[in-house]
Structure 1
Amino acid sequence: MNEEVQFILEATEEGMGAAIAHLEKEFIKIRAGKASPAMLSSVMVEYYGSQTPLSQVSNINTPDGRTISVQPWEKSMLQEIETSIMNANLGFNPMNNGEMIIINVPPLTEERRKQLVKQAKAEAEHAKVGVRSARQDANKEIKGLDISEDLQKNAELDVQELTDTYTQKIDDFLHAKEAEIMKV
């Protein structure tokens, strides 16, 4: 196979892989009833005048499946962290005991589970858009190459095959996440 075509296919596969990696990160943020430090990954705290991720100013642990504990490295940060968690609009009610912040993760209601499934489906659709965009870019590059028509058609078929494979992976991830969310 032509080296240029091979390069385009590898770049396309890399782009599609990035869409899947992004989807996995987004799925980690969608909670499925079990407490996880990743639930607080989007929380930013004002720390010496700059916005800093919560994980860089504290230890975040899960003592059990329903509790997240946040132990700041500086006690003076307790109030700031508590405010930041509330302002992050994650649906948590942090409790400050003077030493650390404790967050009880409430069990999910049926309605909330359905909202989370919708959110997961939206993220999966974004990933599919990323895959299709990579396909479109690859096909455009292939059309721009100075190669035979047969080689061009074969390359486009290879790109479509990659697209189908990655779309199937996204669907598989979505079904697994849906099952995880809906499991009571």
Structure 2
Amino acid sequence: MAKYDKSDIERRMQGAVESLKSDLAGLRTGRANVALLDPVVVEVYGSMMPLSQVATVNAPEPRMLSVQVWDKANVTAVEKGIAHAGLGLNPMIDGQTLRLPIPDLTEDRRKELAKLAGQYAEKAKIAIRNVRRDGMEMLKEDEKKKEISEDDRKRLEEEVQKMTDKYVAETDAAAAHKEKEILQR
């Protein structure tokens, strides 16, 4: 078994927190986000193209997306592409610009998303505790091989526990922040 390495333990715990933050970023909160239209494809010039190649997407307000179509002839095609993308958005045409009001999330959907955020956080905490267990086992192994004393092992175990507490607290804070964001009207 590997020798105890504090920086490796810390790096692995930090990785679990970063992974959680990335998972939480993917949860929709009912606010306008230009990434919402990334999967939209539009039929223009006889072929299918990503929306980003025929228009500019902005979020001028917290609950509104605006799509500025570059070629006037493609406005209807862009409108159709957005309407058929299954995002629940109803484009309103205003010249070469389409306005997309972002609908409110239902209360049930908000609760579902908040629960999902909690599940993501729990997975991250399990990963952190697994790293802690690995660290503790390495310390016991090092003590058995007479590489460290019993006092050193106990001191280092406290260090590992402090790191664990720190990253579990970070996980809880990230999840609480996301849940608050989701449940906010």
TM over 0.5: yes
Listed as ranges, the matches of 1:62-81 within 5 Å are: 62-69=59-66
List per-residue Cα deviations over 1:18-74 (Å, max 9, x = no partner): 111122222222222211234456x497xxxxxxx9879975421221223466899
Corresponding pairs, count: 169
Letter of the structure 2 residue corresponding to residue 160 of structure 1 = Q
Is contact 1:30–1:39 with CA below 8 Å preserved after alignment?
A: no
Is contact 2:70–2:96 with CA below 8 Å preserved after alignment?
A: no
Instruction: For 1:80 and 1:63, locate their aligned partners in 2 and report how far apart those are by CA, in whole Å.
Output: 22
Q: 1:179: which partner in 2?
A: 180
Counterpart check, 1:32 vs 2:29: yes
Closer, same or farther in 2 for the Cα pair 1:61/1:137, shift >3 Å?
Answer: farther
Listed as ranges, the matches of 1:155-174 within 5 Å are: 155-174=156-175
Q: 1:139: which partner in 2?
A: 136
Q: Secondary structure at the match of 2:59?
A: strand
Q: 1:92: which partner in 2?
A: 88
> What is the CA distance between 1:15 and its match in structure 2?
1.2
Letter of the structure 1 residue corresponding to residue 154 of structure 2 = K
Scaled by the length of structure 1, what TM-score is found? 0.69
Cα RMSD after superposing both structures: 3.6
> What is the CA distance between 1:104 and its match in structure 2?
3.2
Closer, same or farther in 2 for the Cα pair 1:124/1:67, shift >3 Å?
Answer: same
Closer, same or farther in 2 for the Cα pair 1:58/1:130, shift >3 Å?
Answer: farther
**What are structure 2's unaligned runs of at least 5 residues?**
42-49
Closer, same or farther in 2 for the Cα pair 1:113/1:134, shift >3 Å?
Answer: same
**What are structure 1's unaligned runs of at least 5 residues?**
46-52
Is contact 1:28–1:38 with CA below 8 Å preserved after alignment?
A: no
Closer, same or farther in 2 for the Cα pair 1:171/1:61, shift >3 Å?
Answer: same
Closer, same or farther in 2 for the Cα pair 1:116/1:16, shift >3 Å?
Answer: same
Is contact 1:57–1:73 with CA below 8 Å preserved after alignment?
A: yes
Q: Secondary structure at the match of 2:58?
A: strand
> What is the CA distance between 1:163 and its match in structure 2?
0.7
Is contact 1:94–1:104 with CA below 8 Å preserved after alignment?
A: yes
Instruction: For 1:18 and 1:78, locate their aligned partners in 2 and report how far apart those are by CA, in whole Å.
Output: 40
Closer, same or farther in 2 for the Cα pair 1:12/1:29, shift >3 Å?
Answer: same
Closer, same or farther in 2 for the Cα pair 1:93/1:143, shift >3 Å?
Answer: same
Counterpart check, 1:127 vs 2:128: no
Q: Secondary structure at the match of 1:136?
A: helix
Closer, same or farther in 2 for the Cα pair 1:150/1:25, shift >3 Å?
Answer: same
Scaled by the length of structure 2, what TM-score is found? 0.69
